[in-house]
Every structure is written in C-alpha cells, then in structure tokens.
Amino acid sequence: MPSPLSSASKQQFRPPWSTPHTVRLKDPGEYPASTSDSPDANDPSQHRPGARTGEDGGRKAGSYGGFEESQGVHPDEDERVTREQTLRDSQKSYERKIQEVRDKGGLEALLKDPKIVVTVRDVKQAVPNFKLLDPRHHAFARFVLPIAESAIKSQEWSGKEHPEDNEAKSDDKKGGDEKKDVGGKDGERGQNKNEKKDEEKEKDTEDGKESDIDTETERMLSIVIEEIRVARTLSNNDGKVHAPLKLLDGDAEEQLESKISVDDQATPDSWIPRSKHLLRLTGKHPLNAEPNLTALFEAGMITPTKLHYVRNHGPVAVLDWDSHRLSVSVYTNPELKGEGVSENTEFTTDDTGEFVATREWSMDEIADGQFHVVELPITIACDGNRRKEVNMIKRSAGYDWSASGVSTCIWRGIFLRDLLLATGLKTGFESEEWFLHMEGADQCSEGTYATSIPLAHAMDPTNDVMLVFGQNGRVLHPDHGYPLRIIIPGFVGGRQVKWLKKIWIAKEANTSHYHIWDNKVVPPMIDSKEHPLASAFFHLEDSGCYEQILQSIICKPSHDERVPLPTGEGGLDQPYKIEGFAYDGAGTKIQRVELSLDGGNTWKYCLRRFLNKPLRHGTKHWAWVFWSCEVRFGDLANCQEIIVRAFDTKKNTQPEHLTWNVMHTVCIYSNSWYRVRPSLETDPKTKQPVLHFRHPVAPGQDKGGWMKPNKIQSQSQNSSNKTFSLEEVRKHDKKDDAWIVLDGRVYDVTSVLEWHPGGAGAILGYAGKATAEATNEYNGIHDQYANSKRDECFIGVLSKEGMDAMRKDAERVSKELAKLKEERKDYALQPDSYIAVKLVKRKEITHDTRLYTFELPKRPNGEHGILALPICQHIKIALHFEDQAVLRSYTPVRPVLPHEEDGTFDLLIKAYLPTEDGPFPPGGTLSNYLDVMQEGEEIDIRGPNGHIIYKGHGEFEVDGKSHRFKKVNLVSGGSGLTPHWQLIHAILSDKSDEALISIIDSNKTYEDILMREELQEYADKHPRRFKLWHCLSKPPENKEWKYTNGHLDKNIMEEHFYAAHDGDAATFLCGPPGMIQKAAVPALKEMGFEPGKTLFGF
C-alpha cells in the first residue's frame, strides 16, 4: 500500500508499516535559523542579509539585510546560504511530490485506488513547515494539512468494510485517550496623549486691547488658530521603511491575537488566530466581523491588526510565502521578445491580437528584489459600513455593519506600476480604456473572487496603488490577504483583492460573479436581484463602487454609555469632549467637521487631528482624521440629538438622511449625518442624574440603538399563530424532518434541504434547536428572495415558555463561561480559545507509545505559563485540515499538582499506526500526526474540558453536582489510564486524603502497560490505599505473571473492586469503547453500581 507522496514506485515500494516505525526527528542543528549556536540566533531580524538601500531611503533588493548592516551588523554569509538552501530544497521536494500525485491522476484518483492508502503521516511529512524554516514570513501560520480528514477516512482500500455491511470501523474506536469531538505612533490615540495647547493663546487685539468676545467665540477662535498652526506643519510621508518585518515579539501581544476561537474549529478557518474583540456579523463562517466602535477609536489612529475589520467571502486561502507565485500578464511590444524582459517571461497573443507577456513572480522577488519598498498609513473601509442602519429601514442583501467597518494600518509593499512595467507593459493605456484585473486564491461560494479597475488609475504614480505584503510591521494577517494583496488608497474595500494570485490586462471590465453582483449601487426601484431591470443595471460598469465616499462618525460618547451629570454650582457649564473620526476617498482631505446639538440649525466647528506626515504628493490624504468638539453639559442635557457631518475640499458634505438600496453599499446611501441621542435618566444605584447615550444601532449582532426595525418588513405575511413548545421543536432534528427557529418563529425547512445553496449541513446544524445563533447567522447572509422562501416554510411561533427557556439557558451558559474565564485569567489554558504550544521533547516509550513534552506560552511578565488543569479533566487538541479542525481529547500525565508546574506538560499517547491488513489501514488521525511532528513545531490546545473534577478527600464534582466517596474503583484500558493516573497521583501524594483506590488495568501485552513501574511503585508503597490488578490478552513470555490472563469480566471486578453495597464506593471508567460498553458497564450494573450516581465515565 504505497503512499502517493512517496518517491518510490508502486512496484518498488516497501510498506513502512511492515517494520517497526522509526521516526527520525531532524536535529535542531539542521535548521541554523533556530539553533542557539547560530551567529544570528539572538537576532531574529537576520533573515535575508546582503541588502542595499536606495538613495532616497527606500527599501530595495535584500532590504532586510540593508537595515541590519546600517546598524553595524554583519550577518554570516554561510548562514544565509544554508538557510535559503534549506528553504529551496524543502520547496523543491514538496513540488516534486505534488507533481507525483498529479502524474497518478490527482489526489481524488489516488483516494479511490484500493491499492494505495493515503495516511496522515504521508501528508504531514510531505508538506514543509515553513514557519520553522522561515518564521519571519510565516508569523501567523498554523500548520494546515491540505486535505480533509473525511477524505482519508472515506478512501477505498482492499478489504474495506462499508456501512451497508453494518460493520463499519473507525480508527478512533480503538480506544485509548484519543477521544473524538463531533463537529468536528505618532499621533496615535492609543497612547492616550493629546497635544498640549499653547499656554499663551493668540488673541484678536486692536490698539493693544483685547477684544470683548464671548466664551463660545473664544473657543472657536482657539480651535481655528490651532488648525492654522497644524496646517503649517502638515508634510509629505516619504514611505521610508525603517525596520525589517518583525517576528512574533515586541508589540505582538498588543497588535495580534495568538489564540484560536472555538467558533472556528468546525470550519476551514480553524487555523487562524482571531481576536475575541471582533464582533461577528454572519455567524461562524465565513468570517465577517467588526470591532466595537469604542475599542476601535481608543486603539488610536493606527488600528492594531487584531482590531482591523474582516470581510471574507469564503474560506481563507491557505498559502505560504515560499511557494506562492503571482501571475502577471500585460500587453507588451513584440520587439521585447528575444531581448527579454526576463528569461522567465512567456509571450503569447490574445483573442484581440494583442501581444501578451506573462511572468510568475515569487514573494522574494517582489519583497526583496529590484523594487522600491514603501510603508504608508492607509484607511480602508468596507463598502457596506453603516449598512445596519439602512437595514432598519428595509432589509437588504448586505450584512449588518455598524459604523466600525473601517480601519487604518501601516501597509508595506511595492508600487504595482513598477511590477507591471518590469513585466513588460507597453504604452497605450493613456489613449484608450484598459482594465487591470485582479484575482484572489480564495474559493468562494460563487467561484474565485475577482474584480477590475481602470488601468490608468493603477499606473498614475500619484495614486500609490500597492502590492502589499506587510501590515503594521509584520507579514499580512491571514484574514487580510497573506502573503500578498492589493491596496488601492481611497477605494472601497471590495476592490482591494486579498490572497492575490493573478493580475492581467484586458480591454473589457471583469465579468466574474463578484465584480458584477457585488459592490454595486443600483436605482432604489430595484428591490431584489430578480427585478426585470436588475441584471442590466448590475452589468452596467457605471453602477460599480470604486472611490470611497465622505463619512464621519461619533465615537465618544459610546453607545449605551452613561455619563454622570455634574451637579452643584457651575456643573452644567463644565465641558464635555465629543470625539470621532472622518474619512473620504480619492485622497481628498477632510476639510471641515461640524457638530450640531439643535437638529442642524446651527453648527459647531470641530478640531481635526491628523497623522504625522499625512500627505502624499503634496495633496493626497490616504488616512482618516480624528476630530473633537467641546460642548457644555447643559447643552448636552437639553439636546435631542448630537449630529456630525464632514466636508471635503469641494465643499461637498454628507446627506441629511439615509436612502435605501438593495445592495446598500457605502458609496452613496449609508453616509448620512451620524446621530447620537442622549436622554436624562436617574442612575438606579447612585440616584444621581446621568446622560444615557444611544447610537443609531448597537455594535455587531447586539440589539439596541435608537433606530428600530421597520415592523412591516419584519413581519411575515403568513398569519399562522400556532404555538410550539421547545420540547416539540427538539423532536424535529433529522434530515427528513427538520424544523428551525428564527427570531422566535418556527419553520419547517425539510423541503429546503435538497436545494439549499449552502448545502443541507448549513441548516441541519440548527435543526431541532432554539438558539439565537441560528437567527444571527441567517440574518447576516440572506436576501429578499431567501426571505420569501423562508416565509413559505413558516408554521408557527415558539411558546413563551420556550423563549424564556432559551433566554435563561443562554444567560446561564454566558455567566458560567465568564466566571470560568475570570478564574483562569492568569493561566495559559483557556476554555473558549485555542493556544499554540510548542513540542520541545519527544520520547519513545514503546513501539507505539510516545511521551510528548509541550511548552506553554510565557506570561506577559516573562514567567513560564501555568496549565492549572483540574484533576480528572482533559485538554482538547486541534489539528487543522483544509475543511475544519479535527479535535481529540487527551489528559496530561504531568503536571498534576501545583508544585509540578514548570511551563510544560506531558502527554502519554498511544499511536495507532498504519497497518497493512488491519480494519483501518490509515491509522489514527491525531496520534499519527503527533508521531511525525518535529521538535519546535506547534499545535493548538484548549481547556479545561470534562464533566468530572476531583476536589480532594473523596469529593468529586460531576456535572456541577457534588459527590463524596471513600472508595474508588477504576476501570482502565490502554491509554485510558491517563485520567486515572491523575486521580491516583493526586490522592496518594496527599497523606491526609483517606480515599481508597482499586484499579483494574487491561491491555493486550505486557509491553502495552503504560506507566507500569510508576503504578507498581505506588502499589508497593501504599498497599492499603492502592490496589493494583492487571489483565492481559497475551501473557508475557519469560516473566513471572501473577495477574489475569484474559479479558475483563464480572468475576474479576467482583474479586478486586470495592462493593457497591458498601454505600460509599463508586466506579470510574476510561478505555476502549468495546471493553467499556460491552464488558464493564453491564457487569458493573449487575454489581449494583448506578450510572450517574455511583458509575461514571471520563
């Protein structure tokens, strides 16, 4: 059964499992970039030395080394050559193996060939771990296997038994502890510093006498004078790069999220670390999320990467720096052929007769080659920013973005025009309209994401259109296009293609689905894509959104904020500072921001704050401005609304009111005056007056805000008033009988499953459940047509009791999680997110059992991390496949007690290796993956998990209920020993714990007994407190054996266990399902143990 990724042919191949598995881990010395004795080991910036810097300070070829050499660092050339050679060798090896797979008909054909078995080991060993080899360019990487676990499990092999035989086997049913889970600054406000005002203000004087002006006029005058001063200091940003791309150090914690959310574990994005501060708008997948508006503003004028809004149309493309290539095709001159733009350039002729040059560019050629590298702060906003407000008027096809779908980062890259010219682009675009087409590597529901812009715009040097590979000093985050994306300053986000893989020139605009049907503004009369005129208007290029539109937002006071009203004499005259931001497209300057407290009758001038060196080319402003305006508390208390509007350099301003559009993009319709409404209330705790502020809508999917949904459009035309209980709904959770609950309304969606565009699985996950999550996900991605089909399925409403139960259960779960997170805030292991842990040691215990030691992330103060796993609980490990994370649960055998904490933990794992003739030749998924991991590689864990906790002195907490037992029986099998070991070790290490233990440990052979010596040592040392008995299927040869030869049965348990009738005995089980379910549980029930009372399974 040869591996398709092996270099051996079928005829010559020798199955690796015919001999004992020996896995050679590469010595750390083979990876110079990571060895302690490397000359550059303590300087992570030594990636590509030998750079040079342009005369204008711009970064050019080998730019990272250029910075280092300017600091007096002289990297060792041999180290550089070795490192880069290792990268090249790994990449070539990977490409050869991929080609072998293609030569054999592709992976799909191999999976169907019963003569070949693909294993997790094959895939893991075939794919290089670029994060180990090239950490600077793979900072965010989690290792992702480019295959689905289901593809491995469903492949054909000789003698495979199928479900129809009613004897289907699963690799994970071999037991052990491998349990499967189903579902499987400069000007920055972040520093909280405002520029000091001049102590001596300039004043309007005449004949040396100060003018008689009121307080408001004086305030206005000081603002104008300050703006005049600021205007004189505005200067150009030269884009100079001052440092190499950083590793995950320094300000990484401030900028990035290291944990992986449980919300992503069952999606293809399971490998991406995402901030819990991002508010999801569309359920779990694909990710579309925004930060809280207050958090966004308080983070400062440069948005931390982890708070940048995310707009994805499908799974994030799994790419790496070293193998990614950008294909570029341009119209060129025939005479260039032969003279050579590059030896890597191909020449063809397209359908219009144009001569075309095509070249593939590597990331190193783009980032470290001949091109001028720049770094610029640029604001990007989602086309649909503030769409949630418009959806309150009438539901559109767009997501519920509040006002925080906008961010400003420092983007590093090269100018696109330079790359086009280097590829051989000829002149001609100046005299006729050509289009620049861009395509990403992401595979979305409607195909690949692609769009186009006028080529002339990209070729204009003053537009700064960039190919970007860096964000806030590091490589791009996966959600933002790693390793390469387009940044078009002043354009809407929908044109700025991420995961860029292809660029080409054409004389017609793009015709892909997303270019035609996304990012368009059509006349309001077109209320759905089914309208007779919809197709014509959507295909009209002039309907497209390109340049960003004028926008201003109030951030302070924040939504739902309550501000105490000053009391006492002069209290209402005290100032309150209102703050926010504003931005525009096309590089247009925000020329003025105004605030009104009287419905727009009068306006107050606001003070603007710019980034340092905000200009490009003397006039272009690519980043937002922050603004502020001080008002009297008395005026705030008496106003109905706080309104803001901005003006551009042509004195254009925002419209007063919103206008509805089926797509609701930001381009025209959702940039009206932003309004915050205050109300005077009494604080229930202090009994003092407070001002309660409400924004138009609440952040994310939260309810609230002063705007209310249009009641007519939110009500179904179906007038059924039938009521269903929660119990009734739960009965309908099958493919042939599926009900779902949306906004408290019940729908029979059985008929929809066959044709649902997202597949039946997208619905069945919510069938028979009454959860707010279903409503949130539905509302985020469905249009008018979907709503009409939904309404056809309406059958009634959820009962009041059902709604109350839903709400109470959600509150209970939320409170329990919040409490647990607070208790564990100082520990590495977290209940709702995955952390990366590093393999630091691997020890072979037996031919198929390994002891793995993993290192926890260090704490912020530099001290080692703390696991703090409650006794008898386990952790979940996530292995990332291309479609989702595969989860398994394991119980560490160390640390068990607090004094054993040293920043690492041990897992004792039995590897279910591939077999030639076994029932499941590929072997266990996660155990095989771990078996071929290299030291230094990482894997993700989460916890604590499990429903049993040992509190000490015989007290157990099971599902939140307390139980106390003086005598404890343990049924163990294989690596199911590990939770029992925690319990044994904890009890016997405490002399004051009087609990008695009896364990029966079952294995196939003597060599299979885990922790044999440790168990025997405890049995010899504590004969009264700890009784040990073994059962072996095959007795050892040439050894004295006093224990049972054979399988576990009732007689053995009656002989060695504490009896149930004692009243203070309980039995806990962990081992292979067959042994537990068929042998142990039935016999223990006969012996008087009751499930849930005195009989429990880990």
In a domain, 1079, yes or no: yes
In a domain, 95, yes or no: no
Among 29-33, 73-77, 316-320, 881-885, the minimum mean pLDDT is found in 29-33
Catalytic residue flag (residue 890): yes
Q: pLDDT for 892-935, tens place per residue?
A: 999 999 999 999 999 999 988 888 777 778 888 999 999 999 99
The verdict on 954 and 937 lying in the same domain is no
Residue 181 has pLDDT above 60, yes or no: no
Residue burial 544-555, b: 16+ Cβ < 10 Å; e: rest: bbbbbbbbbbbb
The verdict on 935 and 963 lying in the same domain is no
pLDDT (0 to 100) of residue 429: 66
pLDDT band at 779 (very low <50, low <70, confident <90, very high): low
The verdict on 920 and 1025 lying in the same domain is no
pLDDT band at 711 (very low <50, low <70, confident <90, very high): low
The verdict on 789 and 900 lying in the same domain is no
In a domain, 160, yes or no: no
What is the distance between the alpha carbons of residues 111 and 149, in angstroms, rounded to a whole number?
A: 12
Catalytic residue flag (residue 874): yes
In a domain, 779, yes or no: yes
Average pLDDT of the segment spanning 163-176: 42
Residue 207 has pLDDT above 50, yes or no: no
Report the candidate in 110, 120, 14 with the shortest Cα–Cα distance to residue 923. 120
Which CATH number do you get for residue 975? Answer: 3.40.50.80
In a domain, 895, yes or no: yes
The verdict on 583 and 697 lying in the same domain is yes
Which CATH number do you get for residue 917? Answer: 2.40.30.10
The verdict on 973 and 1091 lying in the same domain is yes
Residue 766 lies in domain: 716-806
- Percent of the chain whose predicted confidence (pLDDT) is above 90: 52
Q: In the listed set 709, 743, 773, which residue is the last one of a domain according to the structure? A: 709
The per-residue pLDDT of the chain, averaged, comes to 82
**Vertex 507: Cα angle to 506 and 513 (nearest 5):** 65
Q: In the listed set 943, 965, 993, which residue is the last one of a domain according to the structure? A: 943
Asked if 621 and 464 count as a contact pair (C-beta separation under 8 A), the reply is: no
Average pLDDT of the segment spanning 618-622: 95
Report the candidate in 266, 263, 286 with the shortest Cα–Cα distance to residue 276. 263
969 DSSP β-pair partners? 998, 1067
Residue 648 has pLDDT above 70, yes or no: yes
The verdict on 931 and 954 lying in the same domain is no
Radius of gyration of the chain (CA): 33
Average pLDDT of the segment spanning 943-967: 93
- What are the structure tokens assigned to 810, written together? 């959600």
In a domain, 342, yes or no: no
Packing angle between helix 1012-1021 and helix 977-988, nearest 10 degrees?
A: 30
Average pLDDT of the segment spanning 949-961: 94
In a domain, 250, yes or no: no
The verdict on 699 and 765 lying in the same domain is no
**Please, what's the largest Cα pairwise distance for the chain?**
116
Choose the catalytic residue: 449, 546, 890, 1018: 890
The verdict on 925 and 1023 lying in the same domain is no
Among 20-29, 228-237, 254-263, 405-414, the minimum mean pLDDT is found in 20-29
Choose the catalytic residue: 382, 667, 1031, 1070: 1070
In a domain, 925, yes or no: yes
Report the candidate in 575, 608, 584 with the shortest Cα–Cα distance to residue 594. 608
Average pLDDT of the segment spanning 538-556: 93
Of 777 and 925, the one with more pLDDT = 925
Catalytic residue flag (residue 891): yes
The verdict on 902 and 980 lying in the same domain is no
Q: In the listed set 687, 709, 731, which residue is the last one of a domain according to the structure? A: 709
The verdict on 853 and 776 lying in the same domain is no
Which CATH number do you get for residue 722? Answer: 3.10.120.10
Residue 742 has pLDDT above 70, yes or no: yes
The verdict on 691 and 741 lying in the same domain is no
Which CATH number do you get for residue 657? Answer: 2.60.40.650
What is the distance between the alpha carbons of residues 260 and 257, in angstroms, rounded to a whole number?
A: 8
pLDDT band at 717 (very low <50, low <70, confident <90, very high): very low
Of 453 and 123, the one with more pLDDT = 453
Q: What residues have CB less than 8 Å from 100, skipping those under 6 apart?
A: 4, 5, 7
Average pLDDT of the segment spanning 806-818: 79
Residue 49 has pLDDT above 60, yes or no: no
Give me the numbers of helices (H) and strands (E) for the chain, helices first please. 28, 51
Q: pLDDT for 1052-1080, tens place per residue?
A: 999 999 999 877 999 999 999 889 989 99
pLDDT (0 to 100) of residue 569: 86
Asked if 688 and 700 count as a contact pair (C-beta separation under 8 A), the reply is: no
Q: pLDDT for 488-533, tens place per residue?
A: 999 999 999 999 999 999 999 999 999 998 888 888 788 777 888 8
What is the distance between the alpha carbons of residues 563 and 309, in angstroms, rounded to a whole number?
A: 28
Q: pLDDT for 928-947, tens place per residue?
A: 999 999 999 999 999 999 88
Choose the catalytic residue: 119, 379, 588, 891: 891
- Percent of the chain whose predicted confidence (pLDDT) is above 70: 82
Q: What is the total count of domains within the chain?
A: 4
Choose the catalytic residue: 874, 880, 980, 1030: 874
